[in-house]
Structure 1
Amino acid sequence: MSGFFTALGEYGFLQTALLAGLLASIGCGVIGTFVVVKRIAFMAGGIAHSVLGGMGAALYFGMDPFAGALLAAIVSALLIGTVRLAWKTQEDTLIGALWAIGMAVGVLFIAKTPGYSSDLMSFLFGNILLVPTRELWLMAGLDLVLVTTVSLFYRQFLAISFDEEWARLRGVPVAFFYLLLLCLVAITVVLLIQVVGLILVIALLTLPAAIAGHYVHSLSAMMLIATLLGACFTAFGLALSFGPDLPAGPTMILLAGGVYVCSALVSQVFARRRAARQATAG
């Protein structure tokens, strides 16, 4: 790992990769917390995989795949959210259909575009080492949108995350804020695709927040801890993958997954000890 830190001072692409991971961790912590608390990981997965269609179409027509991904993600989020609000019984079917259709359309477009194999693997599994410097500004801008929106409407998002009916009775426009939350999830998915790709995006979106949820119950505290954990996983995952020349995205996810399993075991031990002490005291 020492070789990584030496190379970090010499190679600009490593500095860009590290900064991309840190920028992605902001969305990972802030929006991933809502995904975990509201239990909409499957929705986020549908949004993530439908993005490939937008990326493939943008690539085919000579446009920026990042822009295509953002457009496809927001359209999918609005479609899934609208169907969920109107016809809850068809929600799972629609998500599965968008998941499959988005992947299929993306693969077809990429297949007709020069450089098919490398581009497809990069989209599916990410390649943080190839993030161009210009996209760091776009990632920073998206982070600013996420943080600003959550800060402005924190109470509303908090209300719909835990009890939509109570929020509705309090006069909160639940449908609007639910769709807005899904759009923020879509933006975060696009951020994380740059780092770990479509296949692994849900893991990085949910694992840091899930780990934070083992130890704190305040939403704001979960966001802060999840953001810090996301930054650690991306930074140390990048460092661990550098020496053995491993893919950075899967290394980050294995690191996050290992920490999650250990954290879950530790939290269970503490919970049983607390229960035993309460039973003894009673």
Structure 2
Amino acid sequence: MELFQYTFFQNALTGSLLTAIVCGIVGTYIVSRRLVFISGGITHASFGGLGLGFYLGMNPILMAMVFSILSAFGVEWVSKTQNVREDSAIAGIWSLGMALGVIFIFLTPGYAPNLSAYLFGNILTISMTDIILITILAVMLVIVFLLFFHEIMYVAFDNDFAITQRLPVKTIEYTMMFFIAVTIVLSIRLVGIMLLMSLLTLPQITVNLITSDFKKIIWGSILVGFTGCVAGLILSYFLNVPSGAFIILVLVVLFLITKGILFFLHRQ
């Protein structure tokens, strides 16, 4: 119990809860709209922003956010207006972001500090500034979903139906792409670029085994995500291994256990 008295661990728990909330909300939209590949492209494109931030001596998270938002809007615009297949546009920004990141980091004098924390995650290093930013994002997401829940759900499940109902589909799509990009960047500290896509999908597909209700998937994803974060965080601390990898490992185990229980019950 002494572990919970440390400020850095309290910050890590707070960051885990807030990240579970934003990833639970945004991830449910991603899985429902089958945007998993897009989230992976945006995640890896943010690496270019990190590299540019290191090279210019600026805040790497800020530059990664700019890269992510532009990449998200770029994919949406190119795939909808320029007759370019969505998967091709995603592959392009995925490769471009990683390539630019490698080049900028190589050109940066000396060694880029804390690079492994961005690639593989280390929530034990989360700062109060990170917590404040994630809190602001969580509040914004909750407000938007409370006000426009049904409109977002219609767009997520049936885009054509939403259009026939004369809903502002494009506005909703671009707004959600903005939130996806910001969520990805602010969650990098937790599990890192390499594993972040799993945090946005594993809790959702685990809960989706039990229910198909959009609202229940959001609540269930938050619970599963936070459970995975706390368990992975504690285990990684005592075993002295990267927290991001252990968080994802715990989420995979939770998925397999849920799948196994449902399979057993179905056989009965």
TM-score (norm 1): 0.89
1:246 is matched with which residue? 241
2:2 is matched with which residue? 6
Letter in 2 for 1:110: I
How far apart in 2 are the matches of 1:209 and 1:115?
A: 41
1:32 aligned to 27, 33, 56, which one?
Answer: 27
1:81 is matched with which residue? 76
Native 8 Å contact 2:78 2:84 kept in 1 = no
Native 8 Å contact 2:46 2:97 kept in 1 = yes
2:38 aligned to 39, 43, 52, which one?
Answer: 43
| Aligned positions of 1:93-242 closer than 5 A | 93-114=88-109, 116=111, 118-242=113-237
Structure 1 portions without partners, runs of 5+: 274-282
Structure 1 residues 173-182 or 250-259, which shifts more? 173-182
Native 8 Å contact 2:54 2:112 kept in 1 = no
2:58 aligned to 59, 63, 78, which one?
Answer: 63
How far apart in 2 are the matches of 1:219 and 1:88?
A: 31
Residue 212 of structure 1 aligns to a residue in which SS? helix
Q: 1:117 to 1:63 in 2, by over 3 A?
A: closer
Give the alignment's Cα RMSD to 1 decimal.
Answer: 1.7
Structure 1 residues 105-114 or 52-61, which shifts more? 105-114
2:11 paired with 1:16: yes
Question: How many angstroms does 1:50 deviate by?
Answer: 0.2
Residue 57 of structure 2 aligns to a residue in which SS? coil
Could you report, residue by residue, the CA deviation over 1:119-167 in whole angstroms, capped at 9, with x for unpaired residues?
3322111121112222211111111122222222211111111111111
How far apart in 2 are the matches of 1:175 and 1:235?
A: 37
Paired-residue identity, %: 33
Native 8 Å contact 1:110 1:120 kept in 2 = no
Structure 1 residues 119-128 or 161-170, which shifts more? 119-128
Structure 2 portions without partners, runs of 5+: none
Could you report, residue by residue, the CA deviation over 1:222-273 in whole angstroms, capped at 9, with x for unpaired residues?
1111111111111111001111111111000000011112222333444566
How far apart in 1 are the matches of 2:266 and 2:35?
A: 25
| Largest Rg, 1 or 2 | 1
Q: 1:221 to 1:115 in 2, by over 3 A?
A: farther
How far apart in 2 are the matches of 1:48 and 1:77?
A: 10
TM-score (norm 2): 0.94
1:279 is matched with which residue? none
How far apart in 2 are the matches of 1:8 and 1:86?
A: 52
Question: How many angstroms does 1:45 deviate by?
Answer: 0.4
Could you report, residue by residue, the CA deviation over 1:186-236 in whole angstroms, capped at 9, with x for unpaired residues?
121112211001010010111111111111221111111111111111111
Residue 198 of structure 1 aligns to a residue in which SS? coil
Native 8 Å contact 1:107 1:120 kept in 2 = no
Letter in 1 for 2:33: K
Native 8 Å contact 1:46 1:96 kept in 2 = yes
Residue 39 of structure 1 aligns to a residue in which SS? coil
